[in-house]
Amino acid sequence: MRLLPKLLAATLLAASSLAFAHAPADDSLYIGLGAKEGIRKIVATFVPLVLADARIKESFSETDIKNLTLRLEQQFCVLAGGPCEYKGSKMTEVHDGLNVTNAQFNALTEDLQIAMERNGVPSRIQNKLVALLAPMQRGIVTK
């Protein structure tokens, strides 16, 4: 008779883990950005905008642009809920010593919005990505 509750518990456990296994992760932003290819295109537009932006380009004079591009693709993909892994350094470590100002942070965000606009990303989706970047400001801006 004691077996029944155990069996019931086991069944419930199995059912709930199945439910979790099938619960879809929220990848609506990832899809909205155009998935991997969309993000690749956005970053491919974004990086040259940053490198041409008089307000911030100086900071990137010694940066490995190929690496930066790859890391940004990974980071945006992860932030958007996509099936990626960010393999770069922590934001605080990367930007430590760069003396990034709020104005520079805003300039870079503006360039990202232009890049998304040029790639046909709806403003609702643009705002979602920008909102996810906003909390990073504290770790990036040091001046």
DSSP states along 28-60: HHHHHTTHHHHHHHHHHHHHHHHHH-TTTGGGG
* Residue 95 marked ligand-binding: yes
Q: Which residue in 43, 80, 100, 129 binds ligand HEM (CB under 6 A)? A: 100
Instruction: Tell me phi and psi for residue 50, to 5 degrees.
Output: -65, -45
Among the listed residues 95, 113, 119, 125, the single contact to ligand HEM using CB under 6 A = 95
35 scored as a contact of ligand HEM (CB under 6 A): no
CB atoms within 10 A of CB 12: 10
CA distance to 36, 53, 118, per residue, from 114 (Å): 19, 12, 6
In angstroms, give the least distance from the CB of 33 to ligand HEM. 14
Residues in contact with ligand HEM, counted by CB under 6 A, come to a total of 23
**Which of 36, 40, 71, 128 is the binder for ligand HEM (CB under 6 A)?**
71
Instruction: Choose, by CB under 6 A, the member of 67, 92, 123, 127 that binds ligand HEM.
Output: 67
Residues 113 and 56: their CA atoms lie apart, in Å, by 15
Q: Is 31 in the site for ligand HEM (CB under 6 A)?
A: no
The burial of 83, by beta-carbon neighbours within 10 Å (0-12 exposed, 13-18 middle, 19 or more buried), is given as exposed
Q: Where along the sequence are the contacts to ligand HEM (CB under 6 A)?
A: 56, 59-60, 63-64, 67-68, 71-72, 75, 88-89, 94-95, 98, 100, 104-105, 108-109, 133, 136, 140
